Structure 1
Amino acid sequence: MRRYCLAAFLLLVLAAPAHAQAPAASLPKVAVFDFELFDTSLQGETDGPRTDEHDRLLRAGDQIRKGLAESGRYAIVDIAPVNAAAHEKNLQACGGCDVQLAQQLGADLAVTGVVQKVSNLILNMNIYMRNARTGHIVASMSADLRGNTDESWTRTASWLLRNRLLAPDFGRPQ
């Protein structure tokens, strides 16, 4: 019985298409940093940072990491070694520190995201992908969202992932 199981397993492995998954070594390595919030709302001015928005920022970054990894087109690099340094900076306005941090991790690409909050009803999610060797922007994308809820943030990140980041030939290093 064991022989038949082993033989069946070997047949499945050998019969699997070679193109099903590229070897991880040949995939572009991506450092996806936690998203940031740019709050220009009156509520943000008077009440300060909100825990629910902080949690949504972390989930948005995790959602993008997971989606890129599951696509089979990218190898996700663990950002833990530089995460504290990344949180000390504004990755959108630090003069390329995201690229420097990605280089420290051995990544080919750096992905950052920012959600601009105009009000609790009007928000905008932006994602930027940069070549970690040159610092050049490979891709940038933006989507408006209405409503400051878990669902609106998740749906917006999902849409950007499907229709921009994972669109055919999108974001490949040049």
Structure 2
Amino acid sequence: MTVPTLIGRALAVPLMAIAFMALAVAGLGTEAHAATRVAVFEFELLDTSGEFDIRGPKPDEVHRLNLITDDMRQRLKEAGYEIVDLAPQDARIDEATPFRNCNGCELEIARDLGAQIEVIGLVQKVSNLILNINFQLRDVATGQVLRAGSADIRNNTDESWLRGISYLVRNRLLDPPLTGKAAP
């Protein structure tokens, strides 16, 4: 072997070791960075269709509200957010709902749960065939609205509600990607 080849091999081993150490340190940095904590409150129903029941949403509508809430939570989790468990504040949530009438009272609940951002949602039922799904994402510390969206859907089925929430998450909530405090 020639002298330049021997020197090249001698330098290659330490350089590879330095590169592996840099990769390991970079990996530790991303693991140490905590994901943004999000409180996703249950979607609510505002029935203005004239077929509302004074006892509240019908069982199939309660099912769909839970379905789209769970779907939004799952999509946010897959996007790298940490979803906060709301159970410790169930009594306060029950007392404060509907959130559309409480002038931001859910911010304190989200803050007490350790969330950095919150998501509230509302489905307005105009008729059995026309519904509107709305969401609002806010910074818990300031109350500032970071994102909001609305989607009109046709047909009162699981599939149409899920398509509406899918559209909102993909095109209003996560696109363009969230930055600052709202980033995962």
Asked if Structure 1 and Structure 2 have the same fold, meaning a TM-score greater than 0.5 normalized by the shorter chain, the answer is yes
Normalized against structure 2, the TM-score is what?
0.77
RMSD: 2.5
**Which residue, out of 68, 71, 87, partners 2:94?**
87
Cα 1:46–1:136 change in 2 (3 A) is closer
- Aligned residue identity for 1:33: F
Is 1:159 matched up with 2:175? no
Partners of 2:85 and 2:46 in 1: CA distance? 25
Q: 1:5-63 CA distances to partner (integer Å, 9 max, x unpaired)?
A: xxxxxxxxxx89x57x9437432110000100000011115895300001111111111
- Aligned residue identity for 1:80: A
In structure 2, stretches of 5+ residues that fail to align are 1-22
Normalized against structure 1, the TM-score is what?
0.81
Higher helix share: 2
- Aligned residue identity for 1:81: P
Runs of 4+ aligned residues of structure 1 deviating over 3 Å after TM superposition are 21-25, 45-48
**Which residue, out of 71, 83, 97, partners 1:76?**
83
The sequence identity of aligned pairs, in percent, is 47
Partners of 2:181 and 2:35 in 1: CA distance? 10
Aligned to 1:173, the other structure's residue is in SS state helix
The higher radius of gyration belongs to 2
In structure 1, stretches of 5+ residues that fail to align are 1-14
Q: Count residues with an aligned counterpart.
A: 158
